[in-house]
């Protein structure tokens, strides 16, 4: 099985939709028809089987690829194009790195579509984010700390994706660039605080893939402007 040829290797721009948040048909239509490379479904809390199935079936009316970030075993829903399993790398609480995941694998390991499933090594870098509080993440990493985590994720664990997560806040692009310059196999995802075309461009210059979340719900036009902005940034 060749993980490195995965579907997401060509993805530059993603919209992230939260099953626990309301979105109108009109807004969803605009997002799915925006030209984004894919939709990723996920959230830090309130994600259930029912609200995930509901959102997936609405996105499925469109051709856009759709991936699920499986953050709780109850919300593992079949029918997505790809599955990401988050492993939080910058926490002392092992349950978020491999504990809950192993509990889920005990039950569902034999049913997982492995060829469409990838681990995502998360670095949660905004201490105010819900995910940081939930997982007790050590979010204040300096350049040396990020470097060590990238060695761990990319060289030792050989994870296919490293997700630099600043959810709710625009992050330190120098750290993101550093991560991208270091990786040998992983793809660097960046998400957090992208709410206009300029920030989308800056993030697309720093990371392989940029993820736009909150602004979808707050300012649809601004969200849509990020698609075009990312498309015009050449991948280095």
Copy the structure tokens of residue 95.
């349950």
Question: Are residues 62 and 33 in contact, defined by beta-carbon separation less than 8 angstroms?
Answer: yes
- What is the SS3 assignment for 96-147? HCCHHHHHHHHHHHHHCCHHHEEEEEEEECCCCCHHHHHHCECCCCCHHHHH
Closest separation in Å from C-beta 5 to ligand 1GP: 24
Total of residues contacting ligand 1GP (CB under 6 A): 13
For ligand 1GP, the binding residue among 23, 27, 104, 168 (CB under 6 A) is 168
171 binds ligand 1GP (CB under 6 A): no
Q: Which residue is nearest to ligand 1GP (CB)?
A: 191
For ligand 1GP, the binding residue among 76, 119, 212, 227 (CB under 6 A) is 212
Per-residue x/- mask for ligand 1GP, residues 61 to 100, rule CB under 6 A?
A: ----------------------------------------
160 binds ligand 1GP (CB under 6 A): no
Residues forming beta bridges with residue 224, ordered by sequence position: none
DSSP 156: I
- 43's CB contacts (< 8 A; 6+ apart) are 18, 19, 20, 21, 71
Closest separation in Å from C-beta 166 to ligand 1GP: 7
């Amino acid at each position: 099985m060749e993980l490195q040829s995965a579907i997401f290797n060509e993805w530059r721009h993603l919209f992230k939709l939260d099953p626990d948040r309301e979105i109108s048909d009109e807004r969803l239509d605009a997002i799915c028809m925006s030209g984004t490379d894919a939709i990723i479904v996920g959230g830090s809390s309130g994600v259930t089987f029912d609200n995930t199935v509901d959102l997936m079936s609405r996105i499925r009316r469109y051709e856009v690829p759709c991936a699920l970030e499986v953050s709780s075993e109850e919300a593992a829903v079949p029918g997505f194009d790809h599955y990401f399993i988050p492993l939080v790398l910058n926490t002392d609480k092992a349950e978020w790195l491999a504990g809950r995941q192993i509990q889920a694998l005990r039950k569902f390991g034999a049913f997982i579509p492995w060829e469409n499933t990838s681990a995502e090594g998360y670095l949660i870098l905004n201490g105010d984010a819900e995910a940081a509080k939930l997982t007790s993440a050590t979010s204040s990493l300096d350049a040396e700390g990020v470097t060590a985590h990238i060695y761990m994720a990319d060289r030792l664990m050989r994870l296919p994706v490293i997700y630099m997560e600043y959810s709710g806040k625009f992050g330190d692009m120098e750290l993101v660039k550093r991560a991208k310059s270091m990786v040998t196999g992983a793809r660097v995802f960046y998400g957090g605080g992208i709410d206009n075309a300029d920030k989308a461009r800056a993030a697309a210059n720093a990371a392989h893939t940029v993820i736009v979340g909150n602004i979808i719900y707050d300012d649809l036009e601004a969200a849509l402007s990020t698609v075009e902005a990312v498309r015009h940034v050449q991948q280095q």
